[in-house]
């Protein structure tokens, strides 16, 4: 449900059951076009982003990527610099993956106190 308090608007969206995008038995993605992916970061994938007129692209959780780089021995500053230059900065066309910073509960609270109501799942 998405709400906008200033206009008293409520929108409920029911999405179809999501189709699996990754075949765990074959260790491959199940799409017509292969996804461009970051090797070794499969556990950081959070979904697929779609836009009109563009191919679907993989979406990675930025925090998970940074945590993985730190686990591999980098400091936070080194991990962030590596990420900025080598991952988010590696544009290779329309199929380039995207990165998201997912909101935490405290982030949602900050938005709500600012008058912005965040999307809430019905789960």
With 0-12 / 13-18 / 19 or more C-beta atoms within 10 angstroms meaning exposed / middle / buried, residue 60 is buried
pLDDT at site 122: 57
Q: Quickly count helices (H) and strands (E) in the chain.
A: 3, 7
Q: CA 94 to CA 97: how far, in whole Å?
A: 8
Q: What would the pLDDT profile of 61-118 be if each residue is shown by its tens digit?
A: 999 999 999 999 999 999 999 999 999 988 888 889 999 998 877 777 777 777 766 5
Q: How confident is the model at residue 26 (pLDDT cuts 50, 70, 90)?
A: low
Inter-CA distances, 4 with 27, 33, 112, Å:
42, 37, 11
């Amino acid at each position: 449900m998405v709400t906008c308090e200033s206009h008293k608007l409520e929108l409920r969206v029911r999405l179809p059951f999501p189709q699996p995008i990754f075949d765990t038995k074959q260790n491959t993605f199940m799409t017509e076009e292969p996804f461009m992916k970051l090797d070794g970061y499969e556990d950081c994938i959070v979904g697929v982003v779609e836009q009109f007129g563009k191919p679907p692209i993989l979406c990675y959780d930025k925090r998970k990527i940074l945590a993985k780089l730190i686990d591999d021995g980098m400091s936070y500053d080194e991990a962030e610099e590596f990420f900025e230059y080598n991952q988010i900065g590696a544009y290779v066309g329309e199929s380039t993956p995207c990165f998201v910073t997912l909101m935490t509960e405290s982030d949602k609270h900050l938005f709500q106190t600012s008058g912005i109501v965040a999307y809430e799942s019905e789960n």
